[in-house]
Amino acid sequence: MSWSHSNGKGVSPGRGGFNEKEEQDMSGEPITAGSHIEITETLLRLYVFLSQDLDRCLNDAARQTFPETELQSHLSSTRAKMMEILSVNRIVKGKVEQECNRVLALAAACLAGGDGKKAAMEELQAERAVLKNKTMALSDLLAVFRAV
């Protein structure tokens, strides 16, 4: 089985992916299946922590289960690690950064209360659904990477 790239060359899907040449990270080291797993795990962990931050706005039990300082510590370190990983692609890094900022601002608005709380809660529900779908997809992808 082979596919055609836009340059017309056939590419066979293999264990390493669909690349004609070996991918390298910023230090010039080859990107391995292990690094794909680490990237996926880190992004999944980031989305889980963002989801937990939103969950804290939705119910009191979640607020008790996830102490604020511990959650923020894990979220901050995972976010920093993800930004370092994504430094090879400024566009994707920017998208993930914007998403983090949007979710964190939304959570802060919901916890603060006030006049905009109802609208923020509706937006929070929608954002939580998006994060749920992303975590499910990343979890499935991670399972595939680990099985290969």
State the 10-residue block means of pLDDT for the chain, 148 residues long: 37 39 54 79 97 87 81 95 95 97 91 77 91 97 92
142 CB contacts (<8 Å, ≥6 apart)?
A: 37, 40, 41, 44
Separation between Cα atoms, residue 58 and residue 124, nearest integer Å: 9
Token pair, residue 80, equals 């920093």
Total structural domains in the chain? 1
Strands 3-4 and 10-11: antiparallel
- Establish if 78 belongs to a structural domain: yes
- Establish if 10 belongs to a structural domain: no
- Establish if 6 belongs to a structural domain: no
Residues 73-110 have pLDDT tens digits of: 999 999 999 999 999 999 999 999 999 999 999 988 88
45 CB contacts (<8 Å, ≥6 apart)?
A: 78
Looking at residue 7, what is its pLDDT? Answer: 37
- Establish if 76 belongs to a structural domain: yes
- Establish if 74 belongs to a structural domain: yes
Amino acid at 55: D
Separation between Cα atoms, residue 139 and residue 36, nearest integer Å: 13
- Establish if 5 belongs to a structural domain: no
- Establish if 22 belongs to a structural domain: no
**Domain carrying residue 80:** 30-147
- Establish if 21 belongs to a structural domain: no
